A and B are shown apart, each in its own frame.
Chain A
């Protein structure tokens, strides 16, 4: 310590009293990746007027440089600016390395533009920041829905699950800040635990081709990341406010970032959102309020050669489930389908009563990276996640107010990734992921566990590569292996154990006999192989790519273990311990043309599954609570094919129009029937007027046209109802899709500078302008109520 003080004093005195300015400083600017000299780099000696551009060999030389600490600022097109501190004590020679790969996702101006990075030959879409901002009051699923080929599977209005080309839940992977989000993703009524307000950058990959993230994302991957923090001395932030008329709610979001020239940074982000009962055109939807709180903190060092980050995020949400949708059995379902809507014409309320869900998610992460000269970059992270899901039903007596489902999922993940990109023509990515997971189902609920206690160990390894043949052609290939070991402790009612015929196949896993129940210890080992191959051709404004992906997914815990009444859906769901992994073979073609006034993207695809796990209706089962439809998970051969397309046309200088379209057919090849709950064909038309020199003014009129789904399986059934002393057969129509609908929307935004610093973005929207009464095929609660009606939304964001 003493030594440092002396040194400091010494250098200060030296600096003040004996500074001489007669030294030379010469050096060379080199590309870090391939060691090549960078010509025409701008080198600036700070605090002097000296600026020099490097010569063809990347060299520069300053004369008359003063003694002491000096700073060079180095700039090169395609590179990050670098501040290079150097101590001058004599004539000095140095070598400066520049990073030419910018890691930030490109912010593209149109939704649907093809992006590089995660995959080369398969379509990947970066969601425009403006689209994210527009949906700050909603959910991630709402924002993603603007991409052709993405729809939403909803439970009421606030629980929104993204569906990519017909696939969802365990088949869609979500990444939060490079960590695979581990929540109870198997449930169709479980929305991802991600705060929309805090999503800074969102990218979506269709299909399982992002092998570095996982080989089991047969539908696709959604990647959310915090914004990149610049390496400079700055303090900035923003505060956003959303207010919406429907639900009479809103949200507040604020973020503050402090960063330093040396690469240190810290960021805090907090958001809060609260909505009361939503309103369908004619009535309030009782108990549909929701509440969301999120916080994230991160800090670290972002240096050129190495860096690290400590990250923590917290998410808590509470969602009311439409009270009218809470039913007991088939008789209730019949009454619900046939009655006038709504049943409960209550007034507006912010209160969230049972039935409801409450989810808390913690994510803590420690990451480190280091650039390796002439090789590339090595990254590693350790992440810990804890997800607690509580579901509350309407209960009786002492149990009222107690959760019916209480699952606690803890996940540890360690990943290391080596990226080799020193050669401009190819790059290779290889890595290993280790995961350990522990699920605990709290017995204090007093309700049989829907998902058992289990421990899961996963090891994954992958290698992917891109090779740029020439100016036009790029080839891509990748391979991934995943090993999963699952060790569960599951109680079975003896009656259901026998019904599934487990006594013959699995009698050896019975651990204990508890009278009416067996305790069993099922163990599984799954080995999954995934691979991809693709080709891309680029010329001027045209791009075509072809991609083949084979992906494999191990059955999830719900598919293996379900054996009873799924209260929220009023159906009996039965899993099967005999399942093996499902396999997808997907080919997709992506065509894009970007001319001046006209651009289009088209993406036809074909996804052939073997052992596709799906729920199949198996008639009715009688219990003391009445009759319930039984749905069994089965493995079938399936085929999904379709096309997503989007076209933009600039009509006049400030007028732009856009049409996007998605069409999809899903077939169960074994039953020679359609697959259930496939999105209906839909169009999105937009007309935008933009005027940048007019405070960035922008105005959009939108029409969303969802056609009627005609390709659906008919799972309707008859049920005997006692009426006036006689039994009558009543048709229970659970399959017929709702009518087509068109919704009109309006949006306008502008940017003002009312204060000395910063700017204010104002965005105003109206959704469902005509207050249209409609239902959506992918809303699980469509039998009980209509979708929300007109909604006015005001978004204010102040950037400072």
Chain B
């Protein structure tokens, strides 16, 4: 008599735990949103193209080498900035279009260390937000004297203020989606 509830409870417990056991292997997640690669494309006056890509340390392969941007002094370059998600090598995604579509929520800034470059923003209509601010996906660089230094590119999401008084760009608020440093050599 006294064992009836016990047996009943144990049976209930066992049926329930066995009925919902499933041994399916979990599905792989290739991050949809993550930006793994940042690419700078330089086109000089002679229409020659150079490309440099920074890859997130978690997604680098054995052949990866830190990019070093090689430019000539006193030259002008058309520079394009692109973001990619290569977390799934079978399905490479260009995030730049998303950034363009959400141009009101995004902003790119540039900062040079120890090298002198004059930068102007050169976005087409698809890169100019509702307030008329070019968000900085396309720029024109004029290099000055020779030297070695760094470039820090940032992509900011939802800043509360975008400022292009200095074309390098400054902002308040928001959170950083991309912050990468490239080595630059300006030489002959």
Contact = CB atoms under 8 A, between A and B. Distances in A.
B27 to A, nearest CB: 4
Contacts of B38: 624
B16 interface: yes
A665 to B, nearest CB: 36
A396 B16 contact: no
B29 A449 contact: yes
A529 interface: no
A621 B58 CA distance: 11
Contacts of B21: 438, 455
A448 B31 contact: yes
Interface string B1-33: 010011001101100110011000111110111
B173 interface: yes
Interface string A383-399: 01000000000111111
B33 A399 contact: yes
Q: Main SS of the interface on chain B?
A: mixed
Given A382-B9, A410-B20, A516-B59, A443 B172 contact: no
B177 A328 contact: yes
A370 interface: yes
A332 interface: yes
Given A625-B179, A726-B114, A396 B33 contact: yes
A624 B180 contact: yes
Contacts of B116: 725
Interface in A707-750: 722, 725-727
Interface string B100-131: 01100100000111101000000000000000
Interface stretch (B43-51, B74-82, B132-140, B150-158): B150-158
Interface in A286-344: 324, 326-329, 331-332, 335, 339, 343-344
Contacts of B54: 624
A300 to B, nearest CB: 13
Nearest to B152: A722
Nearest to B86: A516
Interface in B81-95: 87-89, 95
A384 B173 contact: no
Contacts of A722: 111, 113, 150, 152
B17 A436 contact: yes
Nearest to A397: B98
Interface in A324-374: 324, 326-329, 331-332, 335, 339, 343-344, 366, 368, 370, 372
B119 to A, nearest CB: 12
B160 interface: yes
Interface string A500-516: 00000000000110111
A412 interface: yes
B87 A453 contact: no
Interface string B173-188: 1111111100000000
A447 interface: yes
A414 interface: yes
Interface string A517-545: 10100000000000000000000000000
A448 B5 contact: no
Given A378-B2, A489-B25, A519-B26, A412 B33 contact: no
Contacts of A455: 21
A394 B157 CA distance: 9
Interface stretch (A232-240, A490-498, A595-603): A490-498
Report the interface size class on chain A. 35 or more
Greatest chain A CB density within 10 A among B13, B56, B99, B111 is at: B13
Contacts of A414: 9-10, 12-13
A619 interface: no
A493 B89 CA distance: 14
Interface string A540-561: 0000000000000000000000
B33 A624 contact: no
Contacts of B88: 515
A453 B29 CA distance: 13
A436 B56 CA distance: 39
A447 B158 CA distance: 20
A627 B152 CA distance: 12
Contact of B177 (A324, A370, A396, A726): A396
B178 A447 contact: no
B176 A399 contact: no
Report the interface size class on chain B. 35 or more
Contact of A625 (B5, B59, B173, B176): B176
Contacts of A397: 33, 95, 98, 101-102
A380 interface: yes
Nearest to B105: A396
B35 interface: yes
B113 A396 contact: no
A416 interface: yes
A329 B32 contact: no
A399 B10 CA distance: 44
B157 A396 contact: yes
A152 B110 CA distance: 42
Nearest to A367: B9
B124 to A, nearest CB: 20
Interface string A434-462: 10101001010111110011010000000
Contact of A495 (B58, B178, B179): B58
B48 to A, nearest CB: 27
A401 interface: no
Contacts of A398: 32
B57 A622 contact: yes
Contacts of B6: 380, 416
A514 B28 contact: yes
Nearest to A446: B32
A707 to B, nearest CB: 34
Given A397-B98, A489-B25, A368 B9 contact: yes
A64 to B, nearest CB: 38
B41 to A, nearest CB: 17
A399 B32 contact: yes
Nearest to B1: A370
Given A332-B176, A378-B2, A623 B9 contact: no
Greatest chain A CB density within 10 A among B6, B9, B60 is at: B9
A99 B37 CA distance: 73
B177 A625 contact: yes
A626 interface: yes
Contact of B33 (A381, A395, A515, A516): A395
Contacts of B150: 722
A395 B175 CA distance: 11
Contact of B26 (A380, A441, A495, A624): A441
A519 B177 contact: no
Contacts of B95: 396-397
A384 B113 CA distance: 60
Nearest to B156: A328
A727 B113 contact: yes
Nearest to A496: B58
A621 B57 CA distance: 9
A412 B16 contact: yes
Greatest chain B CB density within 10 A among A324, A328, A412 is at: A328
Contacts of A412: 13, 16-17
B138 to A, nearest CB: 20
Given A328-B157, A399-B32, A446-B31, A382 B12 contact: yes
A378 to B, nearest CB: 7
A730 to B, nearest CB: 14
Contact of A623 (B28, B29, B58, B114): B58
25 contacts: A328-B174, A328-B177, A328-B179, A329-B179, A331-B176, A339-B172, A382-B16, A396-B95, A414-B13, A416-B9, A443-B29, A447-B29, A447-B31, A447-B32, A448-B31, A453-B26, A489-B26, A515-B88, A516-B89, A622-B57, A623-B56, A624-B54, A624-B180, A626-B179, A727-B113
Given A326-B175, A515-B89, A625-B35, 4 more contacts: A329-B175, A332-B176, A343-B160, A399-B32
The 6 closest A-B pairs by CB, nearest first: A626-B179, A328-B176, A446-B32, A328-B175, A624-B56, A397-B98
